[in-house]
């Protein structure tokens, strides 16, 4: 365990389903991130929250909806996804600005059928 816990580790969902990914950190970090990792592509930043306020939204489709109820928890709500959304979704946390590096979770492997 790295200090950032993601659940579930694997998720298979239909295109009409609604599901949520959860991320939790107790490292005292102030910023939390959602990244998408597709095969043979660099990690893509989806959302950044700093002190529960969203500070970055990288043109992510509205079928992905983040929620940060407190600085220790981050959710990614999923609905009406497409097969091309199948990927590894990684959560990370960092200090104030990320200047001193991130701590990543183990990821959720999502398959949309």
Partner 1 sequence: KNEVEQSPQNLTAQEGEFITINCSYSVGISALHWLQQHPGGGIVSLFMLSSGKKKHGRLIATINIQEKHSSLHITASHPRDSAVYICAGNSGTYKYIFGTGTRLKVLA
For 50-108, give the DSSP string.
ETTEEEEE-S--TTEEEEEEETTEEEEEEES--GGG-EEEEEEEESSSSTT-EEE---E
Contact map string, positions 17 to 56, toward partner 1, x by CB under 8 A: --------------x-x---x--xxxx-x--x-x----xx
Should residue 97 be labelled a site residue for partner 1 when binding is judged by CB under 8 A? yes
CA distance 18 to 78: 6
Q: For the CB of residue 112, give the shortest distance to partner 1 in the complex, in Å.
A: 17
Q: Output the smallest distance, CB 97 to partner 1, in A.
A: 5
C-beta of 39 vs 83, nearer to partner 1: 39
Q: What does each C-alpha distance from 33 to 12, 13, 113 come to in angstroms?
A: 22, 22, 26
Shortest distance, CB of residue 62 to partner 1, whole angstroms? Answer: 21
Number of residues forming the site for partner 1 (CB under 8 A):
29
Residue 111 within binding range of partner 1, rule CB under 8 A: no
């Amino acid at each position: 365990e790295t200090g950032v816990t993601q659940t579930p580790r694997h998720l298979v969902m239909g295109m009409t389903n609604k599901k949520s990914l959860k991320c939790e950190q107790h490292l005292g970090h102030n910023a939390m991130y959602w990244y998408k990792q597709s095969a043979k592509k660099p990690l893509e930043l989806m959302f950044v929250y700093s002190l529960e306020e969203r500070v970055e939204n990288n043109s992510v489709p509205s079928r992905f909806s983040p929620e940060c109820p407190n600085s220790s928890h981050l959710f990614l709500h999923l609905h009406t996804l497409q097969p091309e959304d199948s990927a590894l979704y990684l959560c990370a946390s960092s200090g104030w600005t990320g200047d001193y590096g991130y701590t990543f979770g183990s990821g959720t492997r999502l398959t949309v059928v």
